[in-house]
Structure 1
C-alpha cells in the first residue's frame, strides 16, 4: 500500500514538473517575467510542488 502511494506521489510530482515547465515557457509567463523580473507565481509553485512530491515519492519507493 505504501509503495502504491509513493509511486502515485512520484508520478504526480513528475506531472506537476512537466506542467510547471510548460507554464514557465508560456507567452504569459514570459511577458510577466519581462516586466517584473520574475516568472509567474503559478509556474513557480507548480515547479516547487512537483519537485517536492517527486522527491518524497522517490524516497518512499527506495525505502524497504
Structure 2
C-alpha cells in the first residue's frame, strides 16, 4: 500500500516537472536564446528529463 502511494506521488511530480520543463522550453526568452545561440536552458532539460524519470519510477511502483 505504501509503495502505491509513493508511486502515485511520483507520477504526479513527474507530470508537473514535465509540464514545467516544457513551459520553460517554450517560453519567449528561451525561443529567442535558441534562435540566436542554439542553446536550450538547462532548467528545461532538467524538468523534462527529471519528470520522465519520476514518471517511470512512479509507474513501476504502482504495478
Query: TM-score, with normalisation over the residues of structure 1?
Result: 0.88
Counterpart check, 1:57 vs 2:61: no
Distance 1:58 1:36 in 2: 37
CA RMSD of aligned residues (A): 0.9
Unaligned runs of 5+ in 2: none
**1:29 to partner: Cα distance:** 1.0
Structure 1 residue runs of 4 or more that deviate by more than 2 Å after TM superposition: none
Unaligned runs of 5+ in 1: none
Q: How does 1:1-64 map to 2 (within 5 A)?
A: 1-62=2-63
Distance 2:36 2:42 in 1: 14
Query: TM-score, with normalisation over the residues of structure 2?
Result: 0.89
